[in-house]
Structure 1
Amino acid sequence: MTPSTPEDTLAKLQSLITSQEITILKLSEPISAAITQLQDPHQRTSDISASSLDATTPSSLEADLTHYRELFSKLRFSYVEQVTKEKFIRAIVGDPPLIVTPQENVDLEKENLQAKATLKALKTEVTSVVTELGEKAVDLSRKYERVQIEIVKLEELPSKIKELENAVAELKETRVLGSNPNPELNLPLAKTLDLIELKKRRRTELDRQLEQLQSQVPRKKKELDRLHAELQPVETKRQNSMSAAKEARRRKEAALGGIEDDLEERGRWFRASETGLKQILELQG
């Protein structure tokens, strides 16, 4: 089975949404058509109902509901009034006239009470069903909004998938060509994560050592200043000794008048100079 591309999946999703889109107006179309077929062409209809059948909108549906409730209340009152009048006239003009006993009135009152109780229970049930339907409608509306948001995200996915595929292809090409001189950048994911963890541990250790060395800097600086202070007199003494040695050599050469120096005197002078320099170097160490 050939896997479908993101573009094909998106096209199927859009066609599915278009074919199965359900709205309140579409749900009301079969009812409106049935009412139109059942109506007598010569029968007068109200302006609200006629307009609602022509152009159904959520506001017109609410207006129709209010209108039909009021109309039903008036119709029920007229029906009860008409039936009562008809029964009363028939009872009067009947032969023999209809005579109702008190017991029949009591029985009828009981029947009326039972009918009222049944009607009240039915009304309560209908109210409960209507409330439940309203809650389900709100819940479905929220779900529909979430689905619409997810559809927008799904529409953006093909372009993002295409970008990621291009990036993966470039990375694979780079790895195959070996243009990257650093072999650590060509490691698989698991080894890369291990290497990152190792680098983090090394960096933590280096940070710790650096912190220790930084804490030792003030003490080392004080010690360096002390050594410089101790070395200063020794350096001065060395300079004086070198100056004296140079002066003595100059005088001796002047006394000899440029003739070859006496080897014994030069030897003693060199040994004395060597001893002095060794003492100075020992003090510096």
Structure 2
Amino acid sequence: MFAAKELFSKLRFSYVEQVTKEKFLRAIVGDPPLVVGHNENVELETQLAEVKAELKASKEEVRMMIEEMEKTGRDLANQHRGKARYTDDYVTTTGYNNVELQMTQLSTLPESIENLESTIAELRAKQASDSVASSSQNLPLPATLSLVAEREAELAALNRQLAAVQNALPRKTREAEAMERELGVLERRKSEAITQAKEAERKKQEGESDGLEETGRWYRSAEEALKHLVGVEG
């Protein structure tokens, strides 16, 4: 149980740390930069104190209810030993109803406590982020200039990447258009070939001549004539 609580505390601290870093970076690179005043920090501290007080009150309520349940159990045991049967039944039923009511109330408290703890964690993260962002506005001049130079270098690198993409865009567009035109030609050729194949199949089924056989016979006769002429000349 202790190990689980310790692990949970470490995970929650890591989460708060990451959220704080993210908010800090967003605050200093934003346009305009986020400037946190003293009044906002005071307001957050007030909210945090209120939530802590509410959580403490809830835990105290749980403790008191547990003590009351233990007292009720002891009273029921004493009354069971010292009273008559009918009186004991009445007291037992009444005590059982009280315990059942208290158990119902207790079942809703863990969720409330969990919500309060989550709210406290969020407020602490926000307060830490605001404190870091506020401290960044009060850096010494050398540290401020170094931070500004670092952000300007990052911005310049992003601008170079953007310029490279913009320069390559026209060439990529032309290549895409050429490929699209070539694809259109291939699609038309495919459509024409399919149409011709269907027409040839239809003529074949209907017994019509598609002209290919006549063309083949003409080529064969021309070939024989050429061979004959070549043979005569030789």
TM over 0.5: no
Structure with more helix by fraction: 2
Structure with greater Cα Rg:
1
Higher relative CO (Cα under 8 Å, sequence separation at least 6) belongs to 2
TM-score of the aligned structures, taking structure 2 as reference length: 0.29
TM-score of the aligned structures, taking structure 1 as reference length: 0.25
